Amino acid sequence: MKIVLTGGGTGGHIFPLVAVARKLRERHSLGIDLLFIGPDGKMEKEVMAEEGIRAKSVLSGKVRRYFSFLNFVDFFKAPFGFLKALWILLWEMPDAVFSKGGYASVPVVLAAWVYRIPILIHESDAVPGIANRFLGKFSERIAISYPTAAKFFMSSRILLTGNPVREGMDQGNKEAARAKYNMGQSKPTLLVLGGSQGSQKVNQAIVEALPDILQTVQIIHQTGEENFEEVLHSAAKAGIKNEREGYFAIPFLNFEDMRNCLALADVAVSRAGANSIAELAANGIPPVLIPLATAANDHQRMNAFRLAEIGGAIMLEESNLGKHILIEKIQSILSNEESYRKMAEKIKTFYHPNAAEKIIEGLEGIVKI
């Protein structure tokens, strides 16, 4: 069986594809051919190479909700991407396409629809993005993570799966993380995640809070590649040296490091992307969620709201983000053992360990063989 995987642009699109790809190989050990078609980005190339998945690139046009000259450039990318996707699929002719959504998947899904190749798309967020709302019209199945997304699609095509997490993400080694990042045992560990690309605003708030908050917690801080040097410089100005006194900043956490850090973490500060929430949920880590204010369809805010609504997280609006309120929210999670335990239990309800298997069952159900 041959399956095309498509999506990309962020870790939130790439890592669920990997989770499903690993399960496909496990389930079809005698024969499965996987091909990724998407952007020619650094993350996409590195991750697919690590997983041993063939990869081919196509152009795709991003729709921005603000004025940018790039909108005019990207307007011409989509047709070229569609034509190249038609050419690739003509030669590959897979049994099905699994799309993680986003603008990067549009040319591939449309080309697959032209050839009548069965399509399953997955929507991670509480509110679907424009791309998936559009692509849902061309798909045999739409897998969703939040029940609130169901109203945007044809009910007969919906499959409630949850968000797939890479297998083993909940089986990290806390002592390995403690040793690698020089973390002690006397203070709780705060894990700061701004998404796969980092968050400048979250970074700024954390750095401003460092002199005060390091008195009560130790911190592992994923900054994002582009923000790393700026974070180190700002922290140094505040009198905090990296890898000293309970503070360790790192540009990016790979799979092994991420799961070890999640095993060690007691609390998290994170953006509210669906993948970040799913990985925190898999490890039962109560977070302060700071939704990206410019996220399409305000989906991060809706993700955070759904989790905060059941008591599994604290939501902090980006417009209110400051060092004092951030410290207060972190301390409110750690200060009461009983409420901490309940919050950890509530966030675990957002972890769906069988999500990848359910998606694969949906794929197998539409494959015409």
Give the C-alpha separation, 333 to 347, whole Å.
13
With a cut of 90, say whether residue 195 has pLDDT above it.
no
Residues 292-308 have a mean pLDDT of 85
Mean residue pLDDT across the chain: 90
pLDDT in tens, 109-160: 999 999 999 999 999 999 898 889 999 999 999 999 999 999 999 999 999 9
What percentage of residues in the chain have a pLDDT greater than 70?
92
Q: Are 297 and 129 in contact (CB under 8 A)?
A: yes
CATH 3.20.10.10 fits 2-164+353-366, yes or no: no
CATH 3.40.50.2000 location in the chain:
2-164+353-366, 174-348
Residues 257-284 have a mean pLDDT of 96
- Residue-level pLDDT at 63: 55
Bridge partner residues of 142 (DSSP): 121, 158
- Residue-level pLDDT at 74: 61
17-31, 220-234, 316-330, 333-347: least confidently modelled range: 17-31
pLDDT in tens, 201-256: 899 999 999 999 999 999 999 998 888 999 999 999 999 999 988 999 999 999 99
**pLDDT level of residue 367 (50, 70, 90 thresholds):** confident
With a cut of 70, say whether residue 62 has pLDDT above it.
no
What percentage of residues in the chain have a pLDDT greater than 90?
73
CATH 3.30.365.10 fits 174-348, yes or no: no
pLDDT in tens, 326-340: 999 999 999 999 999
**pLDDT level of residue 31 (50, 70, 90 thresholds):** confident
Helical packing angle, 42-51 and 11-27, nearest 10°: 20
Residues 288-315 have a mean pLDDT of 89
- Residue-level pLDDT at 287: 97
- Residue-level pLDDT at 368: 67
pLDDT in tens, 174-183: 999 999 999 9
- Residue-level pLDDT at 362: 94
Residues 166-174 have a mean pLDDT of 94
**pLDDT level of residue 72 (50, 70, 90 thresholds):** low
- Residue-level pLDDT at 76: 67
Instruction: Tell me if the pTM is above 0.75.
Output: yes
